Amino acid sequence: MLKELNTNQDWLRKGSDRILIAGPCSAESEQQVMETSAGIAAVNPNAIFRAGVWKPRTRPGLFEGRGEPALQWLADAKSKTGLRLATEVAIPKHVELALKYDIDVLWVGARTTVNPFMVQELAESLKGVDIPVMVKNPIHPDLQLWIGGLERFNKAGISKLAAIHRGFYTFEHSEYRNAPRWELVYELKSLYPALPIICDVSHIAGTTSLLNMVAQQAIDLNLDGLMIETHCDPSVALSDAQQQITPEKLRELLALLIARNPSFTEEVIVNRMSGIRNKIDELDRLLMKTLGDRMELAKEIGELKKEYNVSILQLDRWKEVIENCMQKAEQAGLYKEFVRNIFIQIHDESIRIQSTILTAKKQEVIGH
């Protein structure tokens, strides 16, 4: 469990209500770093300037960052703009060099978070060092792995911790580059209310057309800040060009965001909300009963499959169910991906129940 968290978030907020972390995906040249950092400082002088110096790439031969020379560019940008600096580290050598060049905040990328051995080595390299660390969620939706990464740094003595939500890879088609799966963020926030959570808007969106929507969702969900990839000229960016915006576009995006009140205050509205929530509670009760009835029918089907030795997955039937649900979702004005995800979960639970029934048969045979 995360025990020693620094609840004073001045190290991150620096007097601002909303945390902004902005900068290019990669530090590509001295001119690019200086021009971009100056533009961001003009938008928000309390921002943290982010830039990748070492870039983990799927295949060799792609642009993998400028390495140590880029750290000097960042140091120069800090000297001229006053912006704090953040960069990604993946091995202890990266940590050593980042500290040498007075980087203010380190972050651990999604590809590193998935490997507890690598995270542990990074944590060991930071023992006795008072520096903030931000941990991105792993590539796949594994909340325990995300928490584990945070815990390793916490146990090494790092109390200035933050989580970065950058979305999750999914094999299904999605409008996002990485599906938000906001429910994992709710769970993390409920477990650790004092832990700041930053939304990496760019990596969820994957394209500039979705940046505003994702950023507003993050604000509406009371996340603590935004990370937005910003480049002086995205058209020539060497990595993630399609999701980066200029400092001026960053200014426009931030101006469009609507801040929300944390809760209702007027008594009349509070009472009205209470009535609506009572109706929701009743519908939830009916929904639970309906789901229970549906799973009872799944058990009956499982018993028939057991009796006649039929495989659990009936692909044609599954396609029929999902197609019917998509049609009904459209008729009801419901978001199709929302309905699809619900029925995938229902189908998975039906398979689990039926697998238990068929497995019980095998265990009986083995027992005899």
Domains of the chain listed by start with CATH number? 10-256 (3.20.20.70), 267-367 (1.20.59.10)
Q: What is the mean pLDDT of residues 323-332?
A: 94
CB-CB neighbours of 205 under 10 Å: 25
> Is the whole-model pTM more than 0.75?
yes
324: exposed, middle or buried (Cβ count in 10 Å: 0-12, 13-18, 19+): exposed
Q: What are the CA-CA distances from residue 154 to residues 87, 127, 197, 363 (Å)?
A: 19, 10, 16, 44
The answer to whether the beta carbons of residues 14 and 46 sit under 8 Å apart is yes
Contact in structure between 98 and 131 (CB atoms under 8 Å): no
Residue 262 has a pLDDT of: 75
Average pLDDT of the chain is 93
% of residues, the chain, pLDDT over 90: 84
* Alpha helices in 53-91, H assignment, sequence order: 68-81
Residue with the bigger pLDDT between 69 and 270: it is 69
Terminal alpha carbon distance of the chain: 45
User: Are residues 361 and 306 in contact, defined by beta-carbon separation less than 8 angstroms?
Assistant: yes
- The whole-number pLDDT of residue 121 equals 98
pLDDT in tens, 248-271: 999 999 999 998 887 778 888 889
Interatomic CA distance for residues 14 and 79, integer angstroms: 17
Q: What integer pLDDT is reported at residue 299 of this predicted model?
A: 96
* Those residues with Cβ within 8 angstroms of residue 163's Cβ, 6 or more apart along the chain or in another chain: 134, 135, 136, 137, 146, 150, 188, 195, 196, 197, 198
The encoded tokens of residue 142 equal 């594994």
Give the mean pLDDT of 43-63.
92
What mean pLDDT is predicted for residues 33-51? 97
Token pair 């978001």 is found at: 335
Q: Which pLDDT score is estimated for 273?
A: 92
Confidence label for 364 from pLDDT (cuts 50, 70 and 90): low
Whether residue 367 is predicted with pLDDT greater than 90 in this model: the reply is: no
pLDDT of 16 over the 80 cut: no
Q: What is the pLDDT of residue 363?
A: 52
Tally of residues, the chain: 368
Q: Which pair of tokens denotes residue 217?
A: 């969702």
More confident residue, 351 or 261: 351
DSSP string, 145-180: HHHHHHHHHHHTT---EEEEE--B--SS--SSSSB-
Q: What distance lies between CA 1 and its chain's CA centroid?
A: 20
Long-range contacts of 307-313, Cβ-Cβ distance < 8 Å, separation of 24 or more: 312/351, 312/354, 312/355, 312/358, 313/351
Candidates 130, 110, 122, 107; CA nearest to 48 is: 107
For the cut 90, the answer to whether the pLDDT of residue 319 exceeds it is yes
Q: What does the pLDDT look like over 73-130, one tens digit per residue?
A: 999 999 999 999 999 999 999 999 999 999 999 999 999 999 999 999 999 999 999 9
Q: What is the reported pLDDT for 362? A: 55
Q: Does 361 have pLDDT greater than 60?
A: no
| Other C-beta atoms lying within 10 Å of the C-beta of residue 244 | 26
Residue located via tokens 């006053």? 82
Query: Who has greater pLDDT, 5 or 288?
Result: 288
CA atoms within 13 A on the CB side of 119: 27
pLDDT digits (tens, 9 = 90+) for 131-184: 999 999 999 999 999 999 999 999 999 999 999 999 999 877 788 999 999 999
Q: Quick one: DSSP state of residue 236? A: G
Mean per-residue pLDDT, 56-61: 83
Phi and psi of 216, rounded to 5°? Answer: -65, -40
- Report helix angle 30-43 to 247-256, nearest 10: 30
